Amino acid sequence: MKIPFLNLHNQYLLISQEIDQAISDVIKESNYIGGKSVKQFENSFAEYLNVNHVIGCANGTDSIEIILKALEIGLGDEVLVPALSWISTSEAVSTVGATPIFVDVHPDYYTINPNLIEEKITKKTKAIIPVHLYGNPAQMNRIIKIAQENNLFVIEDCAQAHAARYNNKLVGTIGTASSFSFYPGKNLGAYGDAGCIATNNESLAEKCRMLGNHGQLIKHNHVFEGRNSRLDGIQASVLNVKLQHLNKWTSQRQYYASLYDSAFCNKEDLIIPKTESSAEHAYHLYVLRSKNRQAIIDNLNKNGVETAIHYPNALPFVNAYKFKGYTESDFPVAFKVTKEIFSIPLYPELTKSEIEFIINCIINP
Ligand SMILES: *Cc1c(COP(=O)(O)O)cnc(C)c1O
């Protein structure tokens, strides 16, 4: 059976009428930057999250960068980031001139380990960026407490965690501000690059909006220099359609994850994803862990099932940060985990028999 790691075309086929209509409405109106669909998405996503302000951006990486700039974080400042993430998290910190300081991850949750945060705080530390990795919320109760005690901003990286919850609240509403990516493969994905910022802080929201649009709120009134990072109308129209399906799609991901969990929880040499009791996982990725991962991957691939590794190297060990000279003992958990993790297909468009086929390939190789 051929099971791709992701099948965006199948998803499109299920909603093609709504999508085609939404895109053609934007073209008819020919309002490609800003305009009705962008306003509508910003309002609907703010309402969905239950947050006061949503600001569309060109992509998720920009949205982290713009939040950092708006908080006046830059040269000479330090920002704590998890050792395991997509590079955007640390890259955005460097782009504004600040220094990303890596913190090792929790051995069960693979998110930033609160026990290791305080030892990394210095006079230069300005913020923490917890990443809700794979859709699994970071340990926000502890992180928020540490941030309050040390006067730090908390920027949630929600790129993989649309619809994930913590203490029954959607992630992205807990910290100072949050960043979302709508890269096509994310749980809420556009048909190109897109992202947004969410916050309850009105002055921060206004500053972010200006930074992403050349320092202006009113055309030709450039209060300061910003940049160009706007959400375009066609992407927003796709997101407007898909947002209506997000809860249903998330429940389907959670259901399939529960089938995987119960099939794999007693298998020796296989570790299933774990969540903190306050957290509700959105399963952007279903990440298993095994000392024998190569044999399992080879067998799945031989049976037509695509797999992936998120990520083969922890951030401190990718070439971009080689100059920092880290060794395995600096981030032992992230180092070890990246040698054992692998991701198997999990998306709402899979059929139950495909899920059962994948389970069978792993249980009865
Ligand atoms: C995808 C992703 C981003 C950034 O998203 P882009 O929209 O591709 O810029 C940031 N952080 C994490 C953890 C991501 O997975």
**Dist CA 255 CA 263 (whole Å):** 13
Contact, 245 vs 341, CB < 8 A?
Answer: no
Which helix or strand (DSSP H or E) is residue 287 part of?
strand 286-289
* pLDDT on residue 266: 93
Stretch 150-164: mean pLDDT? 98
Q: Which atom of ligand 1 is nearest to the CA of 193?
A: 7
* pLDDT on residue 347: 98
Q: Which backbone phi and psi does 78 adopt, to 5 degrees?
A: -120, 145
- Name the residue of 79, 105, 136, 160 whose CB sits within 8 Å of the most ligand 1 atoms, as the mutation to test its pocket: 160
| Helix, strand, or coil (residue 130) | coil
Q: pLDDT per residue over 258-312, tens digit each?
A: 999 999 999 999 999 999 999 999 999 999 999 999 999 999 999 999 999 999 9
CA of 365 to the centre of ligand 1 (A): 34
Q: pLDDT per residue over 78-135, tens digit each?
A: 999 999 999 999 999 999 999 999 999 999 999 999 999 999 999 999 999 999 999 9
Q: Which backbone phi and psi does 198 adopt, to 5 degrees?
A: -125, 140
**CB atoms < 10 A from the CB of 241, how many?**
18
Stretch 5-28: mean pLDDT? 97
Q: pLDDT per residue over 322-333, tens digit each?
A: 999 999 999 999
pTM: 0.98
Question: For all residues of the chain together, what is the average pLDDT?
Answer: 97
With a Cβ cut-off of 6 Å, ligand 1 is lined by 59-61, 85-86, 88-89, 131, 157, 159-160, 181, 183, 193, 195
Fill in the DSSP letter of residue 304: T
Which helix or strand (DSSP H or E) is residue 180 part of?
strand 177-181
Banded pLDDT at 139 (limits 50, 70, 90): very high
Tokens found for residue 224: 């300061």
**Dist CA 8 CA 24 (whole Å):** 20
**Dist CA 58 CA 196 (whole Å):** 8
Nearest in space to 341 (alpha carbons), one of 306, 303, 314: 314
For residue 34, pLDDT beyond 90: no
* pLDDT on residue 141: 98
